[in-house]
Amino acid sequence: MIYNMDCITGAKQHLQDESIDLLIADPPYNLGFGGTTQTKTKKPRFNIIANDQLHPRDYQRFTFQWLREAYRVLKPGRHIYVFIDWRMYPLLYLWMQRVGFTIKNCLVWNKVHMGMGWQYRYQHEFIIFAVKGKNKARRVSNRRATDIWPIPRIASQKTIHPTEKPAKLMEGIILNSSEEGETVADFFLGSGPTVEAANKLGRKITGFEIDEVYFNLARQR
């Protein structure tokens, strides 16, 4: 079941303690994504993502709120994957530790094709890989998997969300960190690649998206 609401309120209302087998989060990076000019009419293709232009203190408060909910609902020893930009990585790393997560690695999503930028063009994003607590953790199913994931990004003219992730990327996460029939939660659904991947792989999916337009796109997947 997915919900058109923010993940903090949604988790409090709909998710029980230690009920989630795998949690995925692609939160706002607080960099104002979505408002860039990408069309011949000089109008932005997308609106600014919700909660992506907050005062630093407000962003920290917002992040701690959803991280605490993520920690509450995740089963002990289970995995959480959090997408983050390099500019916010150091802060999120520390904040996740303060909430109680044990950081295991930093995965690098190699988008294969270069993106925007002037001094070294962007071609990757970080994914913080962590577990709940400090006791025995579930092992990833693919023991040969490395921390570099070369998966082509979606061409900019085909995206339906400003920070859209390929469903194939979510499939890799789900296969490595859950079993068929288990429950996957996505706290920031966007246009729904996790929904598509979970349905394809036989996992139960629950999640939240605050933007009604993107929620409706996710629901169609």
Which of the residue ranges 19-28, 106-115, 132-141, 158-167 has the most confident prediction, judged by mean pLDDT? 19-28
Q: What is the mean pLDDT of residues 100-128?
A: 89
Phi-psi region of 161 (alpha: psi -120 to 50; beta: other; left: phi over 0): beta
Q: State residue 218's pLDDT score.
A: 87
| CB neighbourhood size of 117 (10 A) | 9
Strand ranges in 26-97 using DSSP code E only, listed in sequence order: 74-84
Query: Does the reported pTM lie above 0.75?
Result: yes
Residue 50, pLDDT > 60, answer: no
Q: What is the mean pLDDT of residues 16-24?
A: 98
Residue 117, pLDDT > 90, answer: no
Q: Taking each helix axis as running N to C, give the angle between helix 89-99 and helix 56-73, from 0 to 180 degrees, rounded to the nearest 10.
A: 40
- Cα separation, 198 vs 167, in Å, equals 9
- Cα separation, 147 vs 135, in Å, equals 22
- Cα separation, 22 vs 17, in Å, equals 13
Domain covering 2-219 in this structure, CATH number: 3.40.50.150
